Chain A
Amino acid sequence: MFNSYLENTLQYYPEKCINCLMCIQVCPHGVFTGGKEHVELKSPASCMECGACAGNCPVQAIEVESGVGCAWAMISAALKGKDMDSDACCCGEDDGCCQ
């Protein structure tokens, strides 16, 4: 209830994992933890879909539809007739929200 962040697009295929631990290094939310033969998903709901783990996994054991969770960018894109997922992020622009 009142939590839209319980689900995300993170997909992990442990059978592909080579236990290089790169995902643990790059994840800023501790989504992954070490395991015996492969890493384990510790808290998948914490994933913010930044894509760091998927981009740095050398064996494609992780998939995620990465993007920026910015309502301002999504609403602006929708108002301009663009796809909400077009990543029309406003960072760096005068009306951008990033610092």
Chain B
Amino acid sequence: MNNDRDTGSCCSSDSGKDTSCFITMVGLDRNISPPEIRKTTSVITFSDRFDHILARCGVKREKHIVSPGIYELGNPTPDSSVFVSANYTLSFDALRNSLAGIDCYILVIDTKGINVWCAAGKGTFGTDEIIYRIKWSGLDQIINHRNLILPQLSAPGVSAHDVKRRSGFKVEYGPVRAEDLPQYLRTHTATAEMRRIRFTFKDRLVLTPVELVHVIKPTLLAAIILYLLVGPFAALIAVVTAFTGTVLFPALLPFIPTHDFSTKGLILGGIVTIPFAVVVATNSMINSAMSPLENILTALSAFLIPTAVIAYIALNFTGCTTYTSRTGVKKEIFRYVPLMALMGGLGLLVLIILGISLIEVI
């Protein structure tokens, strides 16, 4: 039982002037009828799961959207809880699925089809949008109390005291993970563990499809060009480089030494590319007509370029993680991007020189 439940009797909501200004600002018509309340269930269908797979793969990013508005789950009464969610299918489905057997309302706000945490970071899951949706949906006419349960990860975009001041609704932050909601709702208290974000192997692995999708076009292009110019071995290096950066790196993230993503990428890149470089240096798999020096220079390129690319992909994984600060990422960029550029540039220069010398020989 939640003893802090706000019935609105003591609300010190925003002034009438503030409300009028806000309604004018968002272009909300006072006389417009509230949107229809939709029904939803906690059942995740095959179609929903297919949609999740497409979303995870980054296919039609703008299509995984739920219409903003109020949804009834089960048979809610005016005293039932109200949960707020993003209008992204993965977020909405995780919430309704975790609320199986609980009669409640879900207020879906417009986050432009972006998940809760990213939307909060962008500001689309924010104070203004919540207040707008409360007024737009006529929520205060549907329920007796004045409480909203928000996902904890929406907090970067929301100011609870501002929501209270401007709308009269008290914001209660639920746990980080929707799966913890049933336990949370027993006491409306979150344990320290419920409040902590994790980044497990599974969490990292589900990010790999979209990472792969990002690099698939340039990888295929590089592989085709290298195959035509040098041969299948060089094309294989391109494919392995992309796979290492987008799949192996996220999977092995906590096990690679050092804290910085760039250095982790350089280490992993080095480990993966050294065997290729050794093969190139010791065996004329690419061109048996090449001199030992040319083979060594080719091997150097086969080490430098893929390692730099893997490190760069690794650095770009910072945006997918749950713990990198902007200050830290900026430091990483200034520290390591010049080194990556130097490595990649040197590798390319060597290849160009080798190419010119080969053309001259021919």
The answer on a CB contact under 8 Å between A56 and B159 is yes
Distance of A89 Cα from B117 Cα, bound (Å): 13
Which of chain B's residues has its CB closest to A7's CB? Answer: B327
B122 to chain A: which residues have CB within 8 Å? 68, 87, 89, 91-92
Given A56-B160, A99-B210, A69 and B325 touching (CB < 8 A)? yes
Contact: A30 with B196, CB < 8 Å?
Answer: yes
Question: Interface residues of B: mostly helix, strand, loop or mixed?
Answer: helix
User: Does A22 sit at the interface, judged by CB under 8 A?
Assistant: yes
Given A65-B326, A66-B156 in contact, is the A71-B316 Cβ separation under 8 Å? Answer: yes
Could you tell me which residues of chain B, from 163 to 213, have a CB within 8 Å of some CB in chain A?
173, 176, 190, 192, 195-197, 206-207, 210-211
Instruction: Given A2-B258, A75-B337, A99-B90, check contact A28 B153 (CB 8 Å).
Output: yes
Question: Roughly how many angstroms separate A16 CA and B42 CA in the complex, as a whole number?
Answer: 44
Verify A72–B156 contact, CB threshold 8 A.
no
Report if B259 contacts A (CB, 8 A). Answer: yes
Considering only residues 320-346 of chain B, those with a C-beta below 8 Å from chain A are: 320-333, 335, 337
- The interface size of chain A toward B, counting residues with CB under 8 Å, comes to 51
- Using Cβ atoms and an 8 Å threshold, which residues of chain A touch B61? 92-94, 96
Query: What residues of chain B lie closer than 8 Å to A58, measured between beta carbons?
Result: 161
Chain B stretch 131-167: residues in CB contact (< 8 A) with chain A? 152-153, 155-161
Q: List 16 A-B contacts (CB under 8 A).
A: A5-B325, A22-B160, A25-B155, A28-B152, A28-B153, A30-B192, A52-B120, A52-B156, A65-B326, A69-B321, A69-B327, A71-B318, A74-B330, A87-B122, A97-B319, A98-B114
